[in-house]
Amino acid sequence: MRGSFRHFTLAVLLLLAVLGLLLPGESIQAQEADPAALIVGFVKDRQDQPVVDARIVLAKDDNNNPLAETTTQADGRYALVLPDEFPDTLSVHIERSHFHDYSLQLSPNEFLKLDAGETIVIPDITLQRLINPAFWVATLVFVLVLVLIATGIIHNTLAALVGVSILYGVSYLGPILSDGLFIFDFTSSMRYIDWNVIFLIMGMM
């Protein structure tokens, strides 16, 4: 009797082990059978430099209902993951402050590849610079800081702080009057700081 119970217990454990091995395998096979379609590409400016934090939107022609969206990474590349269902007419819209908007209509051949779950690579996209009020404000502030430093009216560090304060003030208060007055926010401005130079100067003091 005790031997029969032991055999029954071993059989149950063996059955559970087999089920545990089969269920993950079935899940993996299901995932491999139905891969997610992707749209990948690269966004740059006219100097062939990557454009960071550009908003990439996949939508219908009217662009009113985005189907998927993402942003470009530090290297200017992006990857759009398509939903399970999407219409037969798709377009990619790219938006980035200080650049003109860009739109691209996907071809029927590209749609067929996406419908089959394949990945398509969009040709490199070059965004054109936008000359708006923010550009002229930044230029005038740059000239003002140069004049203050050249004339020695105030200390160089104070002149730089005055320029940065004006840029931040225009960026945060200007959009109330016009969207074209946005220059940058605090987070994005950190990318323009060369910390190697700062640490070098601090080490020389």
Sign of CA dihedral 114, 116, 119, 123: negative
| 92 and 160 share one domain | no
62 is a domain residue: yes
Domain annotation covers residue 22: no
7 within a domain of the structure (yes/no): no
User: Which pLDDT tens digit goes with each residue over 153-203?
Assistant: 999 889 989 999 999 999 999 889 888 899 888 888 888 788 887 788 778
Question: How does pLDDT run across 104-162, given as a tens digit for each residue?
Answer: 999 989 988 998 888 999 999 999 999 999 999 999 999 999 999 999 899 988 998 99
Q: How many CB atoms lie within 10 A of CB 66?
A: 13
Q: Is 83 helix (H, G, I), strand (E, B) or coil?
A: coil
29/190 Cα distance (integer angstroms) = 45
What is the structure's pLDDT at 92?
93
Mark whether 48 and 86 lie in a shared domain: yes
- Parallel/antiparallel/unpaired status of strands 119-121 and 38-44: parallel
Residue 106, amino acid: L
Is the residue at 170 inside a domain? yes
Domain boundary pick from 75, 108, 126: 126
Query: Lowest-confidence range among 27-31, 72-76, 123-127, 189-193?
Result: 27-31
pLDDT(35) > 80? no
Q: What is the mean pLDDT of the chain?
A: 83
Instruction: Please give the residue that has the higher pLDDT: either 194 or 19.
Output: 194
Residues 60 and 111 in one domain: yes
Q: Look at residue 14 and tell me if it is in a domain.
A: no
113 and 51 assigned to the same domain: yes
Range(s) of the domain holding residue 148 = 133-204
Q: Which of 48, 90, 93, 49 is nearest to 70 (CA)?
A: 93
Here the CATH number for the domain that contains residue 88 is 2.60.40.10
Q: Is residue 151 part of a domain?
A: yes
Domain count of the fold of the chain? 2
> Are 121 and 46 members of one domain?
yes
Q: pTM for this one?
A: 0.69
